[in-house]
Chains A and B, each alone.
Chain A
Amino acid sequence: MLNHKRHGKLAAIAVTAATALALTSCGSDEPASTAGGGGSAAPAEPVTITVHTFGGGENFGYDKAVETWNAAHPNIQVKYQNLTDRFEDVYLPQLLQKLQAGSGTADIVGIDEGAMGLMAQRPQFFTDLGQYGLQDRKSDFPAAKWENGVNKDGKLFALGTDIGGMAMCYRKDLFEKAGLPGERDEVTKLWPDWNSFMETGKKFQEKVKDAKFLDGPNTLYNTVLSQEAPKNGNVAYFDKSNQLIIETNPAIKTAFDTVKAYSEAGLTAKLASFTPEWNAAIKKGGFAVMGCPAWMVGVIEGAAGEENKGNWDVAGVPGGAGNWGGSYLAVPSQSKHPKEAAEVLNFLTGKEGHVLAFEEANAFPSSLSGQQDPKVSEKKNAFFNDAPVGKIFGDSTANLLPVFLGEKHAQVKTAAEKVLEGMDKGSIPYAEAWTKFVEAGTKAAG
């Protein structure tokens, strides 16, 4: 899903979300939690439920899941369409227009994490999934994933598809060239915390001159921020009353200072993520390590190409767990068949849907039951030297805490990271960077 076509930082992940099965109002006597069980009383007329998603490549990876559902539910036929590979600049503006117009959306829509803060502030646009019993799914999701699907009125409006558990992706060949261990467990041991990560970086840079240790500011920043935010009240740019706290949140400052330190130490290749230059450097070995949420694995594989098979590997992240990106599914309130849509959503975000999407598109399941499925937890990635990605990313998300996303989270994030890029590349002096960073964020928050 997330592939190199989705340039936006928002763009990240695809996810599917969830749903509801439960049909409490309709007399099904099946337990609500059987995802995909679909045992509701059949509607008299066959109902068509449309699903719209975004993302390049395999995007949400629902071909097989939809096929499975349609075969089992002649009365509820799902039509799945991926609208575009671009979330931030194409999909989201169109979705907002259709939501506002009151017509034109699908019965189930995919939403990237970056826009969830915005959607949570607009309860009128989405069906309350709680009324179809989806509230019962709560125990199946990490709190981090669940909470962002609850709107400002406290109603459940979206369930998670994939999740961006954190790891570090590294170039095995470059590590060996620098005299560092290349094997992933050894590499993980090199950096239990960020200090040792910095030390490793310096050692690397002493030996290797034609490549940099890190890619640039973005992946490092998001990795650190995803770890720090839960330590500082589970907020990032906005506090829970939607006030901008970019200047006062220690999590932001820590992430900023970390990026600054690596940039000043000359350890970054000064590349902004999701740009053609960055893609080229992934392919040509322009840098050795990058922060790597689960969906990034697909991005790297796409950018690096077949000839780099085995050069890249996945190790643990310094400083513990984190999440970056991931998507959701929601049912717009304009849907004519909200009950059936909720059922389908429940299936797609349930264990079976998650596992099928993982197999098809490497969308790492956000549901705990999906993550624990052997097809996921034992999955090895051939491109990354058979790295046990299922285990690495599963471990990193198990204990995630929710991070509140403000209404303008995406805009502030984009503006702030632009300043980081400018600082790293030298168009903004280090001494002025923090002031500019706060200024840009404040302006973007409007």
Chain B
Amino acid sequence: MTLNIDTPAPPRRSGPRRTSGRRAAGRGGGGLTRFDLRATPYFLVSPYFLLFALFGLFPLGYTLWASLHDWELGGDKTFLGIDNYIELIADESFWNAVVNTVGIFVISTIPQLVLALMLANALNKRIRGRLFFRLGILLPLVTSVVAVAVVFTQLYGRDYGMINWFLGFFGVEPIEWQNQSWTAWLAISTMIDWRWTGYNAIILLAAMQTIPKDLYEAASLDGASPRRQFWQITIPMLRPTLVFVVFISTIGGLTLFAEPVMFEGNPTMAGGATGQYQTVAMFIVKEAFRDFDMGYASAAAWMLFALILVGILINYSFTRRIGGNK
């Protein structure tokens, strides 16, 4: 602000800047002042963008560059062009990881969002101990992902796990949960849902509370049942929030990593003997930091990025139809 040296009347400095900045600048005559006015906002927001460039854009670009090379960690790199991508598209284990990731995403996220919606709706009612329940469903979120995974992995243990112990009462033989894809997916999905359902419910609940009460009152007067009110008022009004929640869940689901890694017990990133629950994120880490093939891993990372974009587009096309005719 001290740049504004020509301004004769100091008390007016802040006034004119807001209300008639252009005129003030002109009168101040300074290129400096104009520069100040134009540049300051950019300067003030720049820390975010500088950090983003450093930790967001640069790694993105560098990964792209790396993905075009045959690059072994601690070895040579040679330019390959798009060979890594071609190889990746033909790589069965990559597609296996994609199937696992999408499979876990589907069986975890759909029940999770439905459950979150039901919970939010229930908590939006006048019930006793509402605050307690609202805090309660958010509680799993404060535990660390790894802690959740470790505990659940023990629950799913073959020999000493509580779930097999419980199933034993019904005559079920101990299940080796890691052994088959569907059992592993199921186990991993429960970890995800346990932690994230409450989080999504709280977001949806917050959105529900912004819906004007008079809409419901009017609907009641017209004789709409609570169920009808839910479908015809709540859901359409929630649409922007649902889109947000679905996006976040899609990104989280497709980059799934910690739960299946811990579930394996021994972090080789293989996701089971035949990759029954190896996710794409695990595949990337395995290629980069177990097999030291940085180029190939970078290509896989870009493929995951593309996969997420596709996933979001598909989900967006679904969610924007919610509430239909609006």
Residue B180 lies at the interface, judged by CB distance under 8 Å to chain A: yes
| Cβ-defined contact, A414 with B176, below 8 A | no
Which chain B residues lie closer than 8 Å to A270 at the CB level? 158, 176
Interface bin, chain B: 20 to 34
Shortest distance between the CB of B286 and any CB in chain A (Å): 9
Contact in complex: A418, B159 (CB < 8 Å) = no
Across the A-B interface, how many residue pairs have beta carbons closer than 8 Å? Answer: 94
Is B84 an interface residue when CB atoms closer than 8 A count as contact?
no
B154 adjacent to chain A (CB < 8 Å): yes
Q: Are B290 and A428 in contact (CB under 8 A)?
A: no
Would you give the shortest CB distance from B69 to chain A, in whole angstroms?
A: 14
A277 touches B293 (CB 8 A): no
Q: What CA separation (Å) do A274 and B74 show in the bound complex?
A: 27
- Interface pair A96/B74, CB less than 8 Å apart: yes
Partner pick for B179 among A96, A274, A411, A427, CB 8 A cutoff: A427
Contacts A99-B74, A422-B272 hold; do A89 and B289 have CB atoms under 8 A apart?
A: yes
Known contacts A8-B266, A275-B265, A414-B290; is-contact A428 B157 (Cβ 8 Å)? no
Nearest Cβ on chain A to B302's Cβ, whole angstroms: 20
B180: which A residues are within 8 A, CB to CB? 427
Judge if B291 is at the interface, Cβ distance under 8 Å. Answer: yes
Q: Does A198 count as interface, using CB distance less than 8 angstroms?
A: no
Asked whether B154 lies within 8 Å of A426 as measured between CB atoms, the reply is no
Tell me if A276 and B154 are in contact (CB < 8 A): yes
Our pick among B74, B154, B272 for the contact of A97 (Cβ within 8 Å) is B74
Complex contact A428–B274 (CB within 8 A): yes
CA distance A422 to B178 in the complex (A): 10
0/1 string, A305-318, CB within 8 A of B gives 1: 00000000000000
Q: Does residue A419 face the partner (Cβ distance < 8 Å to B)?
A: yes
Residue B189 at the chain A interface, CB threshold 8 Å = no
User: B268 within 8 Å of A by Cβ?
Assistant: yes
In whole angstroms, how far apart are the Cα atoms of A118 and B74 in the complex? 9
Minimal beta-carbon separation of A419 from chain B (angstroms)? 6
Q: What band does the interface of chain A fall in when counting residues whose beta carbon is under 8 Å from B? A: 35 or more
Q: Give B156's nearest chain A residue, CB to CB.
A: A277
- The distance in angstroms between the C-alpha atoms of A109 and B214, with both chains bound, is 71
Q: Does any Cβ of A come within 8 Å of B244's Cβ?
A: no
Asked, given contacts A88-B290, A277-B158, A446-B291, whether A8 binds B74 with beta carbons under 8 Å apart, the answer is no
B305 at the interface (CB under 8 A from A): no
With A and B bound together, what is the CA distance between A355 and B264 in angstroms? Answer: 37
Contact B265 A422 (CB under 8 A): no
* A interface list, Cβ under 8 A from B: 7-9, 88-89, 93, 96-97, 99-100, 118, 122, 125, 269-270, 272-278, 280-281, 284, 286, 408, 411, 414-415, 418-419, 421-423, 425-428, 436, 443-444, 446
10 sample A-B contacts, Cβ–Cβ < 8 Å, listed by A number: A7-B265, A7-B266, A97-B74, A100-B75, A118-B74, A270-B176, A275-B265, A277-B159, A280-B157, A446-B293
Residues of B bordering A, CB below 8 Å: 73-75, 93, 150, 153-154, 157-160, 176, 178-180, 264-270, 272-274, 276, 288-293
